[in-house]
Amino acid sequence: MRPIPLHVALTFDENYWAPAYAVMRSICLASRRPADLVFHLIHTGLDARRRDQLDAIATEFSVATHHTDLTTHPAYRAFVDELPIGKPFTPIIYARLLLDRLLPPDVERVIYIDSDTFVRGPIEYLAELDLAGKPIAAVLDPGRHKLMLGRDFRQNGDLFDFHFAYFNSGMMVIDRKVFGIADLPGQTRRMYESGLLARLQYDQAVLNLVFKDNWLPLDFRWNLICPLPAHEVLEPQLLHYTGHRKPWNLLSGVAFSSAYRHTMTNAVFYEFWRERMRRRLLHPFARLIGRG
């Protein structure tokens, strides 16, 4: 019998090509079934060179990669054209809400992962998990109270209460069928029309409101938020570099910063660093001539 494929989805824009590469490579390195991995790379367009760099993972580990270019995807275009674009709701943010419609039809279970993560545990553990009929398995967000309730823990008191079990959406194990039934695009549209969307923090809040009390909590080590060196002894399985400290910075101060660089590979790490430096230096000039 053919083993069940391990579907992993990443959504990112061109600025995150190298972190996406690092996440993919970390998954391949930590998996005992790399040959069963299928990466669904959902992005807002990549040039041929970046695409080739990501596809190099397929050559190194004999995995499959499947690209979805959102700029030409009709369902995605139809969805975002009706919604506001701007911080915090950047175009790529909406992709997560449309995940079930962006994947090939044969995908039943998918593991969605943010690109600022680093996987150290075998991803098949998540792929084989019993979701007990829930649409999602995820990890409770330790910083949830401020995210939910806002300023002075009062601002959004009508939407969330202190005890609301609010997950971090940086890693979600998704049952595609049950996830799809929730009709996230329709719900998001209605939230926008009622003015609710403007009060929410990213799509994470949308997901939490829609899947309220309908998700399976996982051990915090499968999405360890804001990982610091002190966390290394806890043997986290998936590190999520939320906040300002990112492992691709030269002096990051995060957990497993050196392991991350070697997972990204030194060649990609320094290429990505040079690219960011170049962008930063050119940014003021680009703004001056109206292209920033």
Number of residues that bind other proteins (CB under 8 A): 20
**Sole binder of other proteins in the list 89, 94, 166, 220 (CB under 8 A):** 220
> Could you say whether residue 199 binds other proteins (CB under 8 A)?
no
**Sole binder of other proteins in the list 29, 58, 131, 140 (CB under 8 A):** 140
* Number of neighbours of residue 82 by Cβ within 10 angstroms: 11
> Could you say whether residue 25 binds other proteins (CB under 8 A)?
no
> Could you say whether residue 146 binds other proteins (CB under 8 A)?
yes
- Contact by Cβ (8 Å): 39, 28: no
Contact region with other proteins (CB under 8 A), list: 12-20, 76-84, 229-237, 264-272 = 229-237
Nearer to other proteins, 130 or 152 (CB): 152
> Could you say whether residue 88 binds other proteins (CB under 8 A)?
no
What CA–CA distances, in Å, run from 18 to 50, 83, 228, 260, 269? 9, 28, 21, 12, 7
Which residue intervals of 81-194 are DSSP H helices? Answer: 99-102, 124-127, 144-149, 176-181, 184-194
**Sole binder of other proteins in the list 1, 48, 230, 267 (CB under 8 A):** 230
Cα–Cα nearest to 8, from 137, 94, 107, 118: 107
**Sole binder of other proteins in the list 35, 62, 75, 153 (CB under 8 A):** 153
Beta strand pairing call for 215-217 and 224-225 = unpaired
Shortest Cβ 259–other proteins spacing (Å) = 18
Strand extents, DSSP E, 32-108: 37-43, 64-69
* CA Rg value for the chain: 19
Nearer to other proteins, 142 or 292 (CB): 142
Q: Which residues of the shown chain bind other proteins in the complex (CB under 8 A)? A: 140, 142-143, 145-146, 149-153, 162-163, 220, 224-226, 228, 230-231, 234
